[in-house]
Structure 1
Amino acid sequence: MSEILLVVDMQNGFMSEKCRHIIPTVIKLIEQFLAAGKLVKFTRFINTADSNYVKLIHWSRLMQESETSIIDELQPYINNNIFDKPYYSAFTQNFSNFIFLNKISKIYLCGVETDSCILKTAIDSFERGIEPVIIEDASSSHGGQQAHDAGIFLLKRNIGKNQIKMSDEVLEEMS
C-alpha cells in the first residue's frame, strides 16, 4: 500500500489569521512523512477570469502570483512537488496520473479549505477507491471555525467518521 500526504492549497491568498494556527502541525507532518520515506505533495489553486468562481459567485481572488504562491514556511519542502488545479478537487489529469502510476491507496489530507477543497478531494478519492484520511488539526478554513466544523461534519457523513484523525494519531500509526 502506497501512501501520500497531500498538503492542500497552503497559499498566501488563503492563509488568513483563522488558518495560520495549523502551520506548525502541517510542518511536523511533512517532516515525519519525509523521514518515514513517504511521499509528500502539494496542491495550488489558480483561479482564472473565465471560471465559475468569477462568473457565478463573483470571487476573483487567487489569480495573482502574490496570492497563489505557497506560504513561505512551506517553501523548503516544495521541490517541484506541486499539482496546480483550477477547481476545488486535487484530481486533475496530472494528479490522477500520478496517483495511478504510484499505486497510491491512501491519501492523508491537510491544509485549507476543509469545507471545500479538502472536502471535494476527499470525496473524489473515496469514489476512486482510494482511502482518504483528513487530519483535522492540520486543516482549517479561512471562513473560520464554523466553516471548518461544517466541512468535518460533512466529511464524517460522506467518507466515514473513522477517516477523520488528529495529527498525533496519524503519526503514532506511522511509527
Structure 2
Amino acid sequence: MKALLIVDVQNDFCTGGVLAAKGGEEVAPIINKIAPNFDLVIASKDWHPIKTKHFDKWPPHCVQETHGAEFHSDLNTANIDLVALKGTGTIDDGYSAFEATNINLISFLKQNKITELYVSGIATDYCVLSSALDSVKEGFKTFVVTDAIRGVNVNPNDSEIALQQMKEAGCILIASEEI
C-alpha cells in the first residue's frame, strides 16, 4: 500500500504569499495528476496561531483561519483523504507532517498498511525535508517526487542541499512520470 503526502501547498507558500517558494503553485497540477495512483492521499497544512515563537524566525504565515493558510486553489482537494495540521502551538515549529497535532500520522499510516510514502509539496528545504527524513526514520520506504516540490531557498543552494540530505538518509528521488 502506498500513500502520497502533499506538504503545505498553501497560499502563503505560493506566488503572492508572504513566504512564497518560487513556482510553489506549479506543484499543484503535478500532484493532481499523480494523486489517483495512491491508496491514500494525506495533505499537511501549516496552521499557526497568530502568536508563536515560530514567527521569531519567519514572517507570519499560514495563520489559522486565514486565506494564506488555505490550500492553493489549483490543488484538487477532492483527492485528499486526510489533512494533518502542524505548527499549531505557540512554541513548536511544526516543520514535519509527522508533527501533526490533530492526528498521529505514524499510527494512521501503519493502521492503513502503508509501506511506501511519496512526498511532494513545499518547501523542499524545510517541511518537505523534515517530513521525508521522519518518514525514513519511521521505517517507510520513502520517495521524493522531485518535480512536485519547490523550495524557499533562503540561501541559493538550500534545495539542492536538502535533496542530497534526503538521498543520503535513504529517500528515493523520483520524477512524477515514473509513478
Shift of 1:97: 2.6
**Residue 61 of structure 1 pairs with residue 61 of structure 2:** yes
Number of residue pairs matched?
162
CA contact (8 A) 2:117 2:142 kept: yes
Gaps of 5+ in 2: 16-21, 88-93
Relative contact order (alpha carbons < 8 A, sep ≥ 6): 1 or 2 greater?
1
**Residue deviations 1:74-124 (CA, integer Å, cap 9, x gap):** 244256621111101111361223112112211100011111111111111
**Residue 89 of structure 1 pairs with residue 96 of structure 2:** yes
Q: TM-score, normalised to structure 1's length?
A: 0.81
CA contact (8 A) 2:32 2:76 kept: no
Distance 1:76 1:158 in 2: 30
**Moved beyond 6 Å, runs of 4+:** none
Q: TM-score, normalised to structure 2's length?
A: 0.80
Q: CA RMSD in A?
A: 2.2
Residues 141, 126 of structure 1: CA spacing in aligned structure 2 closer, same or farther, 3 A cutoff? same
Residues 78, 84 of structure 1: CA spacing in aligned structure 2 closer, same or farther, 3 A cutoff? farther
Paired-residue identity, %: 23
Q: By percentage of residues, which structure has more helix?
A: 1
SS at match of 2:12: coil
Structure 2: which amino acid aligns with 1:108?
A: Y
1:2-151 paired onto structure 2 within 5 Å: 2-16=1-15, 17-31=22-36, 33=37, 38-55=39-56, 57-64=57-64, 65-78=66-79, 81-86=82-87, 87-91=94-98, 92=100, 94=103, 95-143=105-153, 146-151=157-162
Gaps of 5+ in 1: none
